[in-house]
Amino acid sequence: MTASLKDLPQIEALLSQPSIADLSQAYSRAETAAALRDVIGGLRAALQSATPPAALPDFAGGDFAALVALQITAARAPSLRSVINATGVIIHTNLGRARMAPQAIAAMTGAGADATNLELDLETGKRGSRHAHVEGLIRDLTGAEAAVVVNNCAAAVLLSLMATASGRSVVASRGELVEIGGSFRLPDVIAQSGARLREVGTTNKTRVADYADAIDDTTAVLLKSHTSNFRIVGFTAAPDRQALARLASERRVILMEDLGSGVLVDLTRFGLSDEPVVSDVLKAGVDLVMFSGDKLLGGPQAGIIAGRREIVAELKAHPLMRALRIDKLSLAALEATLRLYRAPHDPLQEVPVLRMLSEPLEDVAGRAAALADRLAMVGVRDIKTEATSARVGGGTSPEQDLPSRALSIRLDGMSAEALAAALRRGPPPVIGRIAQDRVLLDMRSVQDDELPLIAEAFAAILRR
């Protein structure tokens, strides 16, 4: 006879079973009851499906208790988990953006485990500033007169405008009024700062004269913004920084630039020509720049503000500063990351983001070959190596590809969607992409020590 819904026991009755009562003692009654509801809910759905089971489990037996224990363990598992990024997108926002250097991880561990001199001057014994831990490094690496750090780049833009332009106007090109991730729009950020936006030019063409004509007694800031995640090509024009800097100086207004990503070393030799070096932007005469810590810099989430001393001083003194300040763990990681840009370190080798985007193609191809061998050893038969294009990601250089190599894989009896889903559920989750009903694992965003983990993930799927 086929089992029916009436054969499902009540939760209270199950909780009184000895094997389930043992789980309540080992965990808690509330967790055990929640797990029972999930398991019984799954059985109820199965009974109502087109192919219901012929029999239900022995609810008093050890196998059922083990199933409930697995459900409790799954519910207790951390929601935020390590995954393997095989998408070919190096700075993947959904996967946590920049992979940090071991030095940054060690610094965070130390700052979290121990008391620190976060806001204590060890020389005087008096209260110090958390900004002092990184300000000197930022000045040295960018040539800025002063710097301050907040919790992300959007906060950096908000604070900079609120401290300098609240109640006044901000002049910006229509072609640079971007929308960043999560539907946050630059015009909305400007409005929240208390400033009034004055749009100039057109979507594709803006000239220095457009900025000049818009400046009046209410103008506080000329704002440039890196378009980051889109490009307008063809019939276009935009003033260079030097010309805007001269105009801002002549008219006694502040020139700010939101760089979005922000890079400290020249990456043009690797084909990334759209990302200006922060020091070059400041040398061009920009008064204040804002950029991210967790993109091309390769550190933790942070919004770095660098520029003229008197403007930065206003930002440090603003009441919003406390609400936007960086926390001690991110500050420790940022300091450690910035130190990797100073001799004798080579940031292209020691900062993971820069190492991945600058890695020679032959090394990426070698990693693909090594993984193909491992997968063949665990029983994967249909493996191809394909030339692919990786991306920097994180809104950086959207039109510039990085040559890469990927393994194109198919398992018998599984669609690409089913295989991708199985890989996402594995320990650890492996995140690839799908093309032509095959799963692609791009090796430019994968590290050597992750290859055995990927092979084991496939082995686990094949064992099912």
What is the tens place of the pLDDT at every residue in 53-73?
888 999 999 999 999 999 999
DSSP annotation of 129: -
- State residue 183's pLDDT score: 63
Q: Are residues 154 and 288 in the same domain?
A: yes
Look at residue 1 and tell me whether its pLDDT is greater than 60: no
Q: Is residue 2 part of a domain?
A: no
Under the banding of pLDDT at 50, 70 and 90, the label for residue 358 is: very high
**What does the mean pLDDT of the chain come to?**
93
Cβ atoms 388, 88 nearer than 8 A? yes
Look at residue 51 and tell me whether its pLDDT is greater than 90: no
Q: Is residue 438 part of a domain?
A: yes
Instruction: Give the Cα separation of 190 and 212 in Å (integer).
Output: 20
Q: Is residue 291 part of a domain?
A: yes
- State residue 204's pLDDT score: 85
Question: Residue type at 242?
Answer: Q
**Domain around 69:** 8-76
Per residue in 396-433, pLDDT (tens digit) is 666 578 999 999 999 999 999 999 999 999 889 999 99
Q: Are residues 234 and 292 in the same domain?
A: yes
Dihedrals φ, ψ of 241, to 5°?
Answer: -65, -40
Q: Are residues 144 and 33 in the same domain?
A: no
Per residue in 75-116, pLDDT (tens digit) is 998 999 999 999 999 999 999 999 999 999 999 999 999 999
pTM score? 0.90
Instruction: Give the Cα separation of 153 and 159 in Å (integer).
Output: 10
Look at residue 344 and tell me whether its pLDDT is greater than 80: yes
Q: Which residues contact 341 (CB under 8 A, 6 or more apart)?
A: 141, 264, 265, 347, 351
How many domains does the chain divide into? Answer: 3
Per-residue DSSP letters for 194-209? T-EEEEES-SSB--HH
- State residue 427's pLDDT score: 87
Instruction: Give the Cα separation of 313 and 282 in Å (integer).
Output: 17
What percentage of residues in the chain have a pLDDT greater than 70?
96
- State residue 146's pLDDT score: 98
Under the banding of pLDDT at 50, 70 and 90, the label for residue 275 is: confident
- State residue 175's pLDDT score: 87
What percentage of residues in the chain have a pLDDT greater than 90?
84
Q: Are residues 293 and 184 in the same domain?
A: yes
Q: Are residues 27 and 110 in the same domain?
A: no
Q: Are residues 247 and 220 in the same domain?
A: yes
Q: Are residues 318 and 363 in the same domain?
A: no
Buried b (16+ CB within 10 A) or exposed e, 139-167: eebbebbbbbbbbbbbbbbbbbbbbbbee
Q: Which residues contact 6 (CB under 8 A, 6 or more apart)?
A: none
Under the banding of pLDDT at 50, 70 and 90, the label for residue 228 is: low
Q: Are residues 126 and 201 in the same domain?
A: yes
DSSP annotation of 436: T
Instruction: Give the Cα separation of 197 and 171 in Å (integer).
Output: 6
Instruction: Give the Cα separation of 399 and 397 in Å (integer).
Output: 6
- Residue 335 token pair: 């300091």
Under the banding of pLDDT at 50, 70 and 90, the label for residue 226 is: confident
Q: Are residues 424 and 447 in the same domain?
A: yes
Per residue in 362-404, pLDDT (tens digit) is 999 999 999 999 999 999 999 999 999 999 987 666 657 899 9
Q: Is residue 393 part of a domain?
A: yes
Q: Are residues 390 and 433 in the same domain?
A: yes
Look at residue 235 and tell me whether its pLDDT is greater than 90: no
Look at residue 234 and tell me whether its pLDDT is greater than 70: no
- Residue 131 token pair: 């900004």
Q: Are residues 49 and 146 in the same domain?
A: no
- The residue among 346, 378, 401 that closes a domain is 346
Cβ atoms 383, 407 nearer than 8 A? yes
- State residue 317's pLDDT score: 95
Q: Is residue 208 part of a domain?
A: yes
Q: Is residue 3 part of a domain?
A: no
- State residue 249's pLDDT score: 96
What's 261's domain CATH number?
Answer: 3.40.640.10
Q: Is residue 1 part of a domain?
A: no
Look at residue 181 and tell me whether its pLDDT is greater than 70: no
Q: Are residues 341 and 364 in the same domain?
A: no
What's 401's domain CATH number?
Answer: 3.90.1150.180
